[in-house]
Structure 1
Amino acid sequence: MEKLTLQYISREPNTITEKTSLLILLHGYGSNEEDLFSFATELPEDLIIVSARAPQNLGFGSYAWYTINFTADAGKFSDIPEALEARELIATFIDEIQDKYKIPTEKTFLLGFSQGTILSYSIALNYPEKVQKIIALSGYIIPELLPENIETKDYNKLDFFISHGSVDQVIPLEWANKAPDFLNHLNIKNSFQEYQVGHGVAPKNFFDFKQWIEERL
């Protein structure tokens, strides 16, 4: 495997054609690339699935995109300089993977969980030319990670599937609930689903975002 910006694992279809789409997975804090990759066996076979590993090694197979403070409020929950650095690593990685497989932006999906979702929002809103279809699981939008010229950017092709657990003990539902209104203000297409679960992905949640992906292939 050639050396790219981030380590990753992948699943490729038997044949890659002009109809093939790409799904990039960004795991949460303290997890690794194997976590979300467990979805792969249940997702459409014509998807190239790439699961990236975050750069910060926490030990014992755990990784993070940046430092977080679990006891802080929304404004101080994330280390912003580290998050900005992680965002740029991911942005470069997306370019590398799209180039490797010759997959265009309109055929690229980005799925994040928790910390991976926070960065997925930031990637999409800063670089809408890189990804258009985003699955945002159990995360929220951080204003400090948004572009200064957000009101003038072209977001007409962005499309979000957002979900959150109603009893999430890590990222409060109220933080996630702000995303739809924010995206609506920018006329960005989005759907928001709430599930009776904690900080995780309920079976119904998986089924719903799988269907959302299939409808856009």
Structure 2
Amino acid sequence: MNLEYITRPSSLQENAPLLIMCHGYGSDENDLFSFASELPEELFIISLKAPFKLEPYGNAWYAINFDAEKGKWSDDEQAKQSRDLISNFIDEACEKYPVNPSNVTLLGFSQGSILSYAVALTYPEKVKNVVALSGYINPNILPSEFTNKDYSNLSIYASHGSVDQVIPVQWAQQTPKFLSQLGIEHAYSEFPVGHGVAPQNFYEFREWLKKHL
């Protein structure tokens, strides 16, 4: 396993639905794991730690240059590396743990959300559901032929804070149109918060997830 992680076992002995969590820039595997105790017991939950260490603490899926103009501020090559690391991790986790490889959900926040979209849109045969919190789709980290892939088994829940000061809500608002053009079943919600997950946001995505497991 090329990524560090923590787990919460499922209440099921075999064929459990797998939920993989991808944290945001500057955070770690403990961040989203705080949701685990409130999520369905049948989920086998794995929370990943991003591969690139930041100083003085925290981790990232790829470098961000905060001084650059929009469009030149993220290291897309590093992002593609992380995309493929997560994809490979799905395969390894499905071999190692008693989970159902046909029922894999990615849950990402911010940078982890951007990566979750990228994994699902690049490798749709590996992912059933995506819960994308406070992120957006970056086409630059998708393969050129992604529009030809079969997304018929993929469902996506996306949400964003309407006053997000880190990732503008306008970027997230492109998501429903993008997914519609690919024929992907999706739900999109906005909440009156900044760059974070409001309680009502959590309850909504939890209900969505229960219906899609």
TM-score range, shorter chain: over 0.9
Picking from 45, 50, 53, the partner of 1:54 is 50
Picking from 158, 175, 180, the partner of 1:179 is 175
Residue pair 1:105, 1:132 contacting (<8 A) in 2 also:
no
Deviations 1:48-92 (A, max 9, x none): 110000011113440111101234444123111111111111111
Instruction: Return the alpha-carbon distance in structure 1 between the equivalents of residues 129 and 12 of structure 2.
Output: 23
Structure 1 residues 176 and 146, CA, compared in 2 at 3 Å: closer, same or farther? same
Instruction: Letter of the 1:121 partner, please give it.
Output: Y
Instruction: Letter of the 1:17 partner, please give it.
Output: E
Instruction: Return the alpha-carbon distance in structure 2 between the equivalents of residues 77 and 208 of structure 1.
Output: 32
Residue pair 2:13, 2:98 contacting (<8 A) in 1 also:
no
The residue matched to 2:59 in structure 1 has which SS? strand
Aligned to 1:216: 212
Aligned to 1:206: 202
Over aligned residue pairs, what C-alpha RMSD do you find? 1.3
Number of residue equivalences: 213
Consecutive unaligned residues in structure 1, runs of 5 or more:
none
Runs of 4 or more off by more than 3 Å in structure 1? Answer: 71-74
Q: Superposition pairs for residues 80-95 of structure 1, below 5 Å? A: 80-95=76-91
The worse-fitting range, judged by mean Cα deviation, of 62-71 and 186-195 is 62-71
The residue matched to 1:77 in structure 2 has which SS? coil
Aligned: 1:5 with 2:16:
no
TM-score, normalised to structure 2's length?
0.96
Aligned to 2:96: 100
The residue matched to 1:125 in structure 2 has which SS? helix
Picking from 117, 120, 127, the partner of 1:121 is 117
Aligned to 2:60: 64
Instruction: Return the alpha-carbon distance in structure 1 between the equivalents of residues 126 and 69 of structure 2.
Output: 30
Residue pair 1:70, 1:170 contacting (<8 A) in 2 also:
no
Consecutive unaligned residues in structure 2, runs of 5 or more:
none
Aligned: 1:17 with 2:7:
no
Aligned to 2:148: 152
Instruction: Return the alpha-carbon distance in structure 2 between the equivalents of residues 12 and 189 of structure 1.
Output: 29
Residue pair 1:66, 1:86 contacting (<8 A) in 2 also:
yes
Picking from 49, 69, 73, the partner of 1:77 is 73
Picking from 130, 135, 144, the partner of 2:131 is 135
Aligned to 1:41: 37
Instruction: Return the alpha-carbon distance in structure 1 between the equivalents of residues 89 and 80 of structure 2.
Output: 14
Q: Percent identity?
A: 52
The residue matched to 1:163 in structure 2 has which SS? strand
The residue matched to 1:104 in structure 2 has which SS? strand
